[in-house]
Amino acid sequence: MPTEPAAPESQRDDLALLGLMQLVSPALPIGAFAFSQGLESAFELDWVRDEASLIEWLNGVLEDGLTRCELPVLARLHQAFSQAGGSADSDAASAKIAEWDEWLAATRETAELAAEDSRLGASLKRLLTSLDLMSSEYLLPALLPDHAGYVTLFAFTAHSRGVSVRQTLLGFAWAWLENQLAVACKALPLGHTSAQRVIEQMRPALVSAVDQALTLEDEELGPVLPGLALASALHETQYSRLFRS
């Protein structure tokens, strides 16, 4: 994947920021809007019914899910892409990337959660290919597993755009929160002013989640979300639904 053109440091920072904004934008055509990650089922079960219970749900998923799973693994994947220098480093980086990609896939406890990760990953890869950003003449695309999941493709894209590890994690967490609030606005329903109040309460939690994720050792990783897994499993047979997960 081509790197950003040579430019003064301030311009490189600006390009990285714009690249991150592009990656986390709801306008990114990868179909993220079609998935609720079990939240729609939580509405149906009356576990989430208003603004207060939504904040409680989101804080739980963030603390016991993203903080212990996607965010720390995203950091490890980003670092693996960064370390891919010479051929020997490339082989080691490729093995590490494949290892974490498989680890993430193993944490998806339902068919819907697994399908979401794989489909979003495939969609992002197709988009990058259509933008001519996956050329085989570059090293980084060759490091990707054949069927890499969304988190792996997110790390790949952020690194290639020159986005720092910390900003990559913050961007991923922001995209997750924004998508969850879009689901709530459609299905709860939650008004847009209420959604902004949720954001105001959750912003410090996103920063804390990234802080913690960056300190965790490998043996400390793994989501602890039985409620979300149950909601997701029940969603597979939910009679009326707007979302695919």
pLDDT tens-digit readout, 101-112? 999 999 999 999
pLDDT (tens digit, 9 = 90+) per residue, 95-139? 899 999 999 999 999 999 999 999 999 999 888 888 887 765 455
Per-residue pLDDT of the chain (245 residues), as tens digits, is 444 455 667 788 889 899 889 899 988 898 888 888 999 999 999 999 999 999 999 999 999 999 999 999 999 999 998 887 555 577 788 889 999 999 999 999 999 999 999 999 999 988 888 888 776 545 566 778 888 999 999 999 999 889 999 999 999 999 999 999 999 999 888 899 999 999 999 999 999 999 999 999 999 999 999 999 998 888 888 777 676 66
Asked whether 73 and 81 are in contact (CB, 8 A), the reply is no
Rounded to whole angstroms, how far apart are CA atoms 95 and 111? 26
- Closest of 221, 225, 199, 207 to residue 74, by C-alpha: 221
pLDDT of residue 64: 96
Per CATH, the number for 37-231 is 1.10.4190.10
* Residue 135: per-residue pLDDT: 65
Domain ranges (residues) in the chain: 37-231
Which pLDDT score, from 0 to 100, does residue 54 have?
Answer: 96
pLDDT at 140: 64
| Contact call for residues 75 and 216 (beta carbons, < 8 A) | no
Q: Is the peptide bond before 26 cis (omega within 30 degrees of 0)?
A: no
Q: So what's the pLDDT on residue 237?
A: 84
SS (H, E, C) the chain: CCCCCCCCHHHHHHHHHHHHHHHHCCCCCCCHHHCCCCHHHHHHCCCCCCHHHHHHHHHHHHHHHHCCCHHHHHHHHHHHHHCCCCHHHHHHHHHHHHHHHHHHHHHCCCHHHHHHHHHHHHHHHHHHHHCCCCCCCCHHHHCCCCCCCHHHHHHHHHHHCCCCHHHHHHHHHHHHHHHHHHHHHHHCCCCHHHHHHHHHHHHHHHHHHHHHHCCCCHHHCCCCCHHHHHHHHHHCCCCCCCCCC
Q: Is the pTM of this model over 0.75?
A: yes
pLDDT score recorded for residue 224? 93
